[in-house]
Amino acid sequence: MHHTGYQPDTVALIGAGNAIDSALQKGLQKVGFRVQLLNREQLQADHFPARAGAIVINAASCGGGARMGEARAVCEALSGLPYTALLHLSSYGVYGRSRRKKIDEDEEPSPTTGRGRDWLACEEALSGADNVSILRLGWQVDRSEDALLGRILRSLLDGKPVILDDNSKGNPVTVSDLVRVTVAIAQQLASGGPRSGLYHYGSADSCTAMAFGSEVVDRVRSLYGEDFAAELVTLLPAEEDRTFVLGCERLRDVFGIQQRSWRQGLTRQVELWLERLQKAEPRGER
């Protein structure tokens, strides 16, 4: 293996149990990291199973609501273990009903949902260490079949109307962009960059679920033909405005990582998810 110069050159990746895991593993390996994929049971062993001084990337909180109890246990198990640096992936969900145009890192977390309180509890379990970085992510649209992209595509393939909120805005994060940002941070952590901090990342442009769905339909029609039947229906009555747009200037200022549009690479993401959904549940021709 070509020596990258990273110190350390090993990343211990704690997975989310969804599409993020393999994408992160491949992204890290592509730039030259050795990757150890770990789970909660391994963290609770008598000794830390990662290579000495490894960087830890904790994606456990990205597993969805059903896995948040496990994610909290992972964070508690990680506290105090002998790693060089830890990057914990968190969520905008730690915030309550902020009316700011953009939420920056100085905004005080005030979750109003059970899942938001779980995300904050995960962060708090790791707080206080001088080698922990927290990356709060915008709305993750394609991490699993139950996320927005999978729900839209599944409904389209089934010929069902897609009901979407056209009121609340966010700055979405695709798996491919999450990997780009996470790998870039890991490279800098292994190259002398700051090993503690609180950062935000979301796409450069915000949108509603309806606007996102419209773009997805355009991509599907580019693949299946303009006569592909698709019905998008606005959610009525409109939900309470749950707009959460993250300001991401600190990530840019500290690490030089720029925001990208969520539209960038969307066609490829749609292709991959269509293939995945069709393999999971074969359907006849439309």
Which residues, in sequence order, are CB contacts of 207 under 8 Å at separation 6+? Answer: 169, 170, 171, 172, 262
Question: What is the maximum alpha-carbon separation in the chain?
Answer: 60
* Residue 55 belongs to domain with CATH number: 3.40.50.720
Domain that holds residue 88: 10-140+172-204+244-261
Answer whether residue 194 is part of any domain.
yes
| Residue 112 backbone phi and psi in degrees, to 5 | -115, 5
Whole-number pLDDT of residue 283: 47
pLDDT winner (highest mean) among 79-83, 216-220, 238-242, 276-280: 216-220
Answer whether residue 75 is part of any domain.
yes
Its pTM stands at 0.91
Whole-number pLDDT of residue 82: 82
Answer whether residue 96 is part of any domain.
yes
Measured between alpha carbons, how far is 233 from 214 in angstroms, rounded to an integer?
11
Segment 172-201 shows an average pLDDT of 95
Q: Check pLDDT > 90 for residue 194.
A: yes
pLDDT in tens, 163-185: 999 988 999 999 999 999 999 99
Whole-number pLDDT of residue 237: 75
Segment 27-42 shows an average pLDDT of 89
- Mean per-residue pLDDT over the chain, rounded: 88
Domain tally for the chain?
A: 1
pLDDT in tens, 230-273: 999 998 876 677 889 999 999 999 999 999 999 998 999 999 88
Segment 146-150 shows an average pLDDT of 91
Answer whether residue 121 is part of any domain.
yes
Residue pair 14/39 in contact (Cβ under 8 Å)? The answer is: yes
Residue pair 119/93 in contact (Cβ under 8 Å)? The answer is: yes
Measured between alpha carbons, how far is 95 from 90 in angstroms, rounded to an integer?
11
Q: Check pLDDT > 70 for residue 36.
A: yes
Answer whether residue 273 is part of any domain.
no
Answer whether residue 113 is part of any domain.
yes
Answer whether residue 4 is part of any domain.
no
Q: Check pLDDT > 70 for residue 4.
A: no
Answer whether residue 281 is part of any domain.
no
pLDDT in tens, 119-129: 999 999 998 78
pLDDT in tens, 57-96: 999 999 877 788 889 988 988 887 888 999 999 999 999 8
